[in-house]
Amino acid sequence: MVDLWTISEASFEPRRLRHNETVFTVGNGYLGTRGAFEEAYPGDQRTTFVHGVFDNLPIFFSELVNFPDWLELEIILAGEHFDLAEGKLLSFERHLDLRNGLLTRTLRWRSPAGRTTRMEFRRFASLADVHAACLQATLTPEDYSGKIEFRSGLDGGTDNLSFKHWDWLGQGTEDQTCWLHLRTHSSQIEAAMAVRLQVESGAAVATENWDVHAHPTLACSTDAEPGQTVRLEKIVSIFTGRDTQDPLSAARKKLASLTGRNWDALWREHAKAWKEEWRRCDVVIEGDDEAQLAIRFNIYHLLIAGPRYDEHVNIGAKTLSGYGYRGHAFWDTEIFMLPFFTFTRPEIARNLLSYRYHNLPGAREKAAENGFKGAQYPWESAGDGREVTPTWVPNPNDRTRMIRIWTGDIEIHISADIAFAAWQYWTASHDEEFLVERGAEIILETARFWASRAEWNQKRGDYEFKDVIGPDEYHDHVDNNAYTNLMARWHLRLARSIVDWLKEHHPAKAARLFEKIDLKEDNLERWQQIADHIYRPVNPKTGLIEQFEGYFKRKDVSLESLEPRNESAQSLFGIDGANEVQIIKQPDVAMLMYLLPGELEPAYAKVNYDYYTERTDLTFGSSLGPSIQAIMATRLGTPGQAYENFIRAARADLEDVRGNAGDGIHGASAGGLWQAVVFGFGGLQISDEGWTLTPKLPAHWKRLAFKFVWRGEEVKVDLKGEDGAGH
Amino acid sequence: MVDLWTISEASFEPRRLRHNETVFTVGNGYLGTRGAFEEAYPGDQRTTFVHGVFDNLPIFFSELVNFPDWLELEIILAGEHFDLAEGKLLSFERHLDLRNGLLTRTLRWRSPAGRTTRMEFRRFASLADVHAACLQATLTPEDYSGKIEFRSGLDGGTDNLSFKHWDWLGQGTEDQTCWLHLRTHSSQIEAAMAVRLQVESGAAVATENWDVHAHPTLACSTDAEPGQTVRLEKIVSIFTGRDTQDPLSAARKKLASLTGRNWDALWREHAKAWKEEWRRCDVVIEGDDEAQLAIRFNIYHLLIAGPRYDEHVNIGAKTLSGYGYRGHAFWDTEIFMLPFFTFTRPEIARNLLSYRYHNLPGAREKAAENGFKGAQYPWESAGDGREVTPTWVPNPNDRTRMIRIWTGDIEIHISADIAFAAWQYWTASHDEEFLVERGAEIILETARFWASRAEWNQKRGDYEFKDVIGPDEYHDHVDNNAYTNLMARWHLRLARSIVDWLKEHHPAKAARLFEKIDLKEDNLERWQQIADHIYRPVNPKTGLIEQFEGYFKRKDVSLESLEPRNESAQSLFGIDGANEVQIIKQPDVAMLMYLLPGELEPAYAKVNYDYYTERTDLTFGSSLGPSIQAIMATRLGTPGQAYENFIRAARADLEDVRGNAGDGIHGASAGGLWQAVVFGFGGLQISDEGWTLTPKLPAHWKRLAFKFVWRGEEVKVDLKGEDGAGH
């Protein structure tokens, strides 16, 4: 029987090292640790990220910092270093149990001198106690007796792709433990980790404490006979200056509190916590094993990235699982990942939206710097909510040129995307406290930005947004991107309705908020007036929306004519060349129709879907494309189109279809996949009035079951493939 | 009596930490190690560079790699870590003995718990065996008895200003030794170091081998009573893949060969080697202690930077003593530092010029890439002689802008500077083998570059060099820089005379060379023709040279009007603003008159000297300026101007007059200082016919004595201040 809860690797393929490190990441919403081997392997990325711990660097401005390596474990077998790059690997398998995030690796290895050892490695990052993680190594010599040595501690010399962020503050070691205290170089965030090692063996175990600077290490040794098992357990605690004033004491105290409990005790609570997660979040697909495993894999990665106890952090585009985009958060969170949390783990959605609330100062600063009012959210956001999009990056082909990245300057739709997510959360949760204390301020301050950014076009008699980048980033410096314009229109109108609601339901708090942000009645009138006159580029005859002004004049190149290819249209045409053709990186008009179906006459939907579908680079364009395309195809296209794009999103990281999964999980694709199942095939749609379900299951699906939370109540949906309805 | 051989620091000033690390660098022409403390101090730069070991990095393309830290020594006194940032420093002094490069630090420290220890640290990098270095720590508890612990090994986790270059290859430890084997990440240069630790004590000494990954460490402990001395000796060996196929074996073998000899034996040979250096290179100045000490200090830094056994490396602008310019070499070597070597250590000069010979392929590649013929040397040169000038650097004040560095594109005079240095070396040494086998090819291939770079100006009927940067970098993209034009003219003529000489003296070898580089008679005719018609911007009435076309039309701002200031004219005016005024960064026309006195009518010298002197930013412009200005002032200005600029150069690093000595020794200033003494005050001038001496000693100097080598013979010069002549 196929195990639909386990991601497995049946043999060791060094060329997939980086990809599988991403896939086999363990985490708990506080930290994420890539699936590097305990004993190290050439070219591995031994990486642990902790939410919110950013530090400065050139070009990218800020990045998540790679923590001291808690996985490290040198194993010396009768004098020989265990090393997969040497000797002979007789068997190897690796499994990630999605039910509980347990990563297991079992292997048999014959050393260069011919000694054979059976080994099993297990690890998990506790979901019940996010400051704790645990690993276990179980070794059995098969055909020799000899000394088994372990060396393991905390390596503070870790770097981020060669760049070092840590300054040393202190360390120590006593008995079976050691600890390390560091601080990030620029952002001055302290971090402390503590470790306890315990070795069980039939023979006596000797431990030495090697207190080497920045790398305190415990060296344990014992003797073993053939068939005798030696087991090492390593418990780790971890705290940062973001969690507590004194992270070193906290880490040492936490480690001490775990004494005597170790793996088994930690494991029970951890597994229980995971059980509860899956009770709330699981999606059951019958009749399609690949889809079943993929949706659980993607949900797993969303769950280990979602901050449970911290409302000052966001999820980076590549979660906590790789260096891509350096941990920066984009609209990927609000538009792609957040719906999953909003509908299954609203507490986490609230934390993520609160991050935006707490970072309003940075967004206000950005608006002011650009000469606008209100709050303009950064396109890329890291620790403090300031804009961290790289402005210039080296041109890999010509050292005398640099490439200017414009998204941080003019991809302004993110402010509406965040407002949309706040509205969606509010609509689904009716979390009044959030709306009143935080959400409203986000929505109103970003609305104010739109009003100041809009320009009056005297000739045409309407408001417009010039010089922007829409979701389709193949085209930059465009005027009146339909997505941007109509999201802004909706946003300005939303602001008005939020104000009315606040006044009606919380008049005193509303008055305080309006005073705080200096919001007057004439602001609202002006917003209304702008919203009513924003340029809306719909051809009244055909119903076709022009993605931006002049888009239809760009060269209409057939995507098919580019096949076969294994790179994006932009890399084929070049940045300038891609600007000149109609091929788009990802759904843009279709994205608008997805988020705001009410903004366009229903009769016009199909013509737009068809026109843009054949011009969208769904294979090598944005990884954000396929899931949304799948949803829109479910509504407007063919079942084949829907499933093709769904499965493309499902494979994004499992199959590494874009060749960059080594940089980390495509978080937006993971969140989009959940939306494709629930909003696409499941057909869930919501409005202020409530939710509706219009399922359209792929023909071969026998069953689709999921849960969602609607205003505090859990709704169970269980759809049968044959009749395609009913819950 | 004042010690005129020792640089001393009488107390510990943390704010001068970086500056003094540069000043107290030890080295041997193979490696350079900054004067960081053995026990580490917050903010220190624990840096060892080895000539030729470069690796790639963003923005700067290539940099010298910081080696594993061999200085590291943790000291634990009765349980307390020795740390100057804690406890009380009762006394402190540090001395660098220039006679032999011995760095000594003595101090008394009272621990936080009140224990007082007297310590002495000594170190040297062997000049007799450049693959060996040695340090010693001598500790005497004054008022306590207890355990004295040392932890020391090789820290492979070192970085270059946060950037890591090393990949780990292997390590080990046994008995009193440990070793480490690494490879640079991009350039794939291997390096290996080995260490032996020996502790002498009245009591027993216990040693543990802490074989921690990338940081093998020896942990020694012993007991001491008050007044009892404990001494640790650490011997280090170091090899790279540039020295040998198997650097690890070489390092371990070298260490083994030193067994039992340790400090004393190594020291005797080292001190002997230094004695011989000073016998050849010392400059004696009587009547001016500051000048005496400064000239020795600067010669010391030239001597520890000069490669004795490697003809594939150059000396970076900041020697091996700091991160400034990332170890890149400029014309600073050939025009400023090389004369010292040419006239006192011609073997080292030959190595340095051979570096340029071996890198002719890179220079040919650069010429070809730019559409020219022959060889165009890179403005900044690192491991392989390709251009490594940064093209774009971040603008510190505006993240949306980058600054384009143009020197790598158009500061082309370096090709003539290198030819000049080759000519100077040839003239002084008559090293025929060098000229025939290497020098001639340098001179001819760079001459060919000039011929292809020259443009015919139809209107004026002459050849010109447009769009260049001269020595004065405040003005870029200028046409017909006088220095560039006339150096090129001289260079093209030199090429002709070298060809004639070769044909006459080595006809067979000449023919082979001309065939190899495809040099024909009509090339030579064309070179002659260009040389005879290069635009020469001398005003025939006044004799004034215009530094470049249009210079006289730039705004004539008085330098005095900017006083008081503590920054350069360029930083006051901005890059664009400085371009628009006549203030220059360093001698440019004067530099030309210095190098090629024969290229200008003697009657015109003074008017040019006067005009440009008052427009040269000698205080905060280029550190290359004062020494040359001192020489020209000796010849054309007042004794006051001469000495003022001489002493400014003398203080460049000792007094940190520009605030950037922490980035490394100003190698050009050091070499310029020697020239100011020998060519300026000493009045040495050379030509094909021989040398002349026209001394003009500063009034208060009682004696100036130096030696130089002329065509294999040592010439001793001993000048008395009173009569100012005679040797």
Residues B666-671 have a mean pLDDT of: 98
**Domains of chain A by residue range:** 1-25+285-317+617-727, 36-278
Q: Which residues of B touch A391 (CB under 8 A)?
A: 399-400
Closest in A162, A167, A211 to B164, CB measured: A162
For residue B724, pLDDT over 50 is answered with: no
Contacts of residue A157 in chain B, CB cutoff 8 Å?
Answer: 157, 214-215
Architecture of domain B36-278: Distorted Sandwich (2.70)
Helix (H/G/I), strand (E/B), else coil: A236: strand
Residues of B with CB under 8 A from a CB of A: 40, 42, 57-59, 61, 72, 74, 151, 153, 155, 157, 159, 162-165, 167, 185, 208, 210-215, 217, 219, 391-392, 394, 399-400, 402, 409
Flag whether pLDDT at A727 surpasses 50.
Answer: no
Nearest to B402 among A40, A165, A402 (CB): A402
| Catalytic one of B21, B72, B365, B473 | B473
pLDDT digits (tens, 9 = 90+) for B349-404: 999 999 999 999 999 999 999 999 999 999 999 999 999 999 999 998 898 999 99
Which pLDDT does position A724 carry in this prediction?
Answer: 45
Q: CA of A44 to nearest chain B CA: how many angstroms apart?
A: 11
Average pLDDT score over residue span A51-70: 97
Instruction: In whole angstroms, give the CA distance from residue B469 to residue B389.
Output: 14
Provide the strand spans (E) within B445-556.
455-457, 462-464
User: With an 8 Å Cβ cutoff, are A59 and B58 in contact?
Assistant: yes
Largest pairwise CA distance in chain B: 90
Q: What is the mean pLDDT of residues A242-246?
A: 98
pLDDT tens digits along B580-638: 999 999 999 999 999 999 988 999 999 999 999 999 999 999 999 999 999 999 999 99
Rounded mean pLDDT of B106-125? 98
Rounded to whole angstroms, what are the CA distances from B574 to B397, B426, B617? Answer: 12, 42, 14
Distance (Å, whole) CA A105 – CA A84: 13
- The length of chain B is 727
pLDDT at B45: 97
- How does the average pLDDT of chain B come out, rounded? 96
B726 pLDDT band, cuts 50/70/90, is very low
Q: How confident is the model at residue B263 (pLDDT cuts 50, 70, 90)?
A: confident
Give the chain B residue nearest A165 (alpha carbons): B162
Lowest mean pLDDT among B257-266, B386-395, B487-496: B257-266
A157, A164, A208 ranked by CB distance to B214: nearest: A157
The reply to whether residue B58 touches residue A394, judged by beta carbons under 8 angstroms, is yes
Q: Does the active-site annotation cover A347?
A: no
CA A603 vs. chain centroid, Å, equals: 36
Partner-chain residue, chosen from B61, B159, B215, that has the shortest CB–CB distance to A215: B215
Q: B207 vs chain A: nearest CA distance in angstroms?
A: 12
Q: How many Å lie between the alpha carbon of A296 and the closest alpha carbon of chain B?
A: 37
CA distance B152 to chain A (A): 9
* Residues 6 or more apart in contact with residue A266 via CB below 8 angstroms: A126, A128, A129, A132, A134, A235, A258
Distance CA B419, CA B412 (A): 12
pLDDT of A725 over the 60 cut: no
Cβ contact (<8 Å) for B151 and A391? no
* Rounded Cα–Cα distance for residues A134 and A103 (Å): 11
- Kindly list the residues from chain B whose CB atom is less than 8 angstroms away from the CB atom of residue A42: 167
Strand intervals (E) in B5-57: 6-9, 26-27, 31-33, 48-50, 54-57
* Region A209-213 average pLDDT: 97
Question: Mean pLDDT, to the nearest integer, of B261-268?
Answer: 85
DSSP B387: B
Gap from A221 CA to chain B (nearest CA, Å): 13
- Please determine, for residue B265, whether its predicted confidence score (pLDDT) is greater than 90: no
CB nearest B394 (choices: A40, A58, A409): A58
Query: What's the confidence (pLDDT) of residue B264?
Result: 86
Measured between beta carbons, the chain A residues lying within 8 angstroms of B391 are 399-400
Confidence (pLDDT) at B1: 58
Interface test with B, best of A213, A393, A404 (most B CBs within 10 A): A213
pLDDT digits (tens, 9 = 90+) for A609-665: 999 999 999 999 999 999 999 999 999 999 999 999 999 999 999 999 889 999 999
What mean pLDDT comes out for the span B405-412? 97
Distance from CA of A152 to the nearest CA of B (A): 9
Average pLDDT on B488-510 reads: 97
Cα(B406)–Cα(B457) distance, integer angstroms: 24
Give the tens place of pLDDT for each residue, A690-717: 999 999 999 999 999 999 999 999 999 9
**How much of chain B, in percent, has pLDDT values that exceed 90?**
95
Across the interface, do B391 and A409 touch by the CB < 8 Å criterion? no
Which of these, A148, A147, A119, A146, lies nearest to A135 by C-alpha position? A119
Contact B157 A214 (CB under 8 A): yes
What whole-number distance in Å separates Cα of residue B603 and Cα of residue B318? 38
Inter-residue contact A107 to A92 (CB < 8 Å): yes
Which of B213, B218, B370, B388 to substitute to test the interface with A, most A CBs within 10 Å?
B213
Residue A722 has pLDDT above 70, yes or no: no
For the segment A324-353, the average pLDDT, to the nearest whole number, is: 98
| Predicted local confidence at residue B261, as pLDDT | 65
**Catalytic pick among A39, A473, A713, A714:** A473
Closest chain A residue to the Cα of B408, Cα to Cα: A400
The whole-angstrom separation of Cα A633 and Cα A158 is: 46
Rounded to 5 degrees, φ, ψ at A387 are -65, 125
The whole-number pLDDT of residue A261 equals 65
Who among B57, B162, B213 is closest to A74 (CB)? Answer: B213
Looking at chain B, the whole-number percentage of residues with pLDDT higher than 70 is 99
**Region B526-547: what's the mean pLDDT?**
95
Indicate if the pLDDT at residue A541 is higher than 70: yes
Residue B104 has pLDDT above 50, yes or no: yes
Q: What is the pLDDT of residue A2?
A: 73
Q: Which residues contact B643 (CB under 8 A, 6 or more apart)?
A: B630, B698
Cross-chain residue pair A409–B399, CB shorter than 8 Å: no
**pLDDT single digits (tens) A430-439:** 999 999 999 9
Residues in A closer than 8 angstroms to B214, CB to CB, are 157, 215
CB atoms within 10 A of CB B311: 17
Show residues of chain B in contact with A57, CB under 8 Å.
Answer: 162
Q: How far apart are CA A572 and CA A578, in angstroms?
A: 8
Query: Does B392 sit within 8 Å of A402, measured CB to CB?
Result: yes
CA distance A473 to A493: 26
Asked if B475 contacts B584 with a C-beta cutoff of 8 angstroms, the reply is: yes
Average pLDDT over residues B452-472: 97
